[in-house]
Amino acid sequence: MGAGDAVPRRAGEALVAPLVYGSIAFFLGKKATDQKTHKWSIFVRGLEDEDMSYFIKKVVFTLHPSCEIPVVVCEQPPYAVTQTGWGEFDVRISIHMRDEAESVVDINHFLQLYHLGLSSKNNATILKKPVVVERYEELVFHQPSEAFANLLLSYDTKTARKNVSDPELRECFTKISEVESMKAIMNAQALITAEIDKTRDQLLEAQPNPASCPAPGGETTLAKRPITCCEGLAVAAEE
């Protein structure tokens, strides 16, 4: 393709790909040592643990420098890393798309080994329960290329390969309803829109000539969505 050739894009369109990321930690019990108290896994998965390789090229996990393997690259599902250790730390999860023109999505996740609110880490009953921390996110692709849009739209979740993760992890996964998540987002949008309208009315009342006052935000509907933008790619903000 020559320098003057433009990649065909779907102008004015935005496509959404939901996913879940998080971590699960298991206390090793009698097998624990000072340096290895837990076995933990950090992962990126589909809502139904489906194969997402149709649009994800690879996922890179950047762990603490002291980890046995500090940087792990997963080029096929399951997108997960499992190691043992004793400390909690921040992890950077970098999601690379099949379309290299799309920005890499970086997500920060804190590896949590202990249940919150414990007065003592020696509570044997609670320690036996795995520590599950999961977050729902939406990747929003603005004006994707025709080829990438076709990949996203042609994928059928009903016939997709599922249960790609380790069974031990899958038993701990949170059941996340996409419908309920979308309802929560729509409710948040309605609240934000109401606040914008209220502010607009207050500004118009304060102006001597309301006709000369443009509405805050103009026609930027993106500002009404609870998302943060990153060079054409947006990631839904956590609630």
The DSSP result for 113-179, as a single string, is: -S-TT-S-TT-HHHHTS-EEEEEEEEEEEES-BHHHHHHHHH--TTTS----S-HHHHTT-----HH
Residue bearing the bigger pLDDT, 174 or 217: 174
What mean pLDDT comes out for the span 205-221?
Answer: 46
Does the domain made of 14-180 have the CATH classification 2.30.30.830? no
What percentage of the chain carries pLDDT values higher than 90? Answer: 56
pLDDT tens digits for range 154-192: 888 778 899 999 999 999 999 876 556 555 666 666 677
Give the least confident one: 99-103, 137-141, 153-157, 176-180.
176-180
Distance CA 57, CA 205 (A): 52
Note the pLDDT of residue 192.
76
pLDDT at 128 over 70: yes
pLDDT tens digits for range 58-81: 999 999 999 999 999 999 999 999
> Full-prediction pTM beyond 0.85?
no
Note the pLDDT of residue 225.
34
State the chain's mean pLDDT as an integer.
80
Distance CA 71, CA 95 (A): 14
Q: Where are the domains of the chain?
A: 14-180
Residue bearing the bigger pLDDT, 67 or 218: 67
What are the φ and ψ backbone dihedral angles of 47, each rounded to 5 degrees? -60, -35
What mean pLDDT comes out for the span 96-120?
Answer: 88
What percentage of the chain carries pLDDT values higher than 70? Answer: 74
Note the pLDDT of residue 194.
73
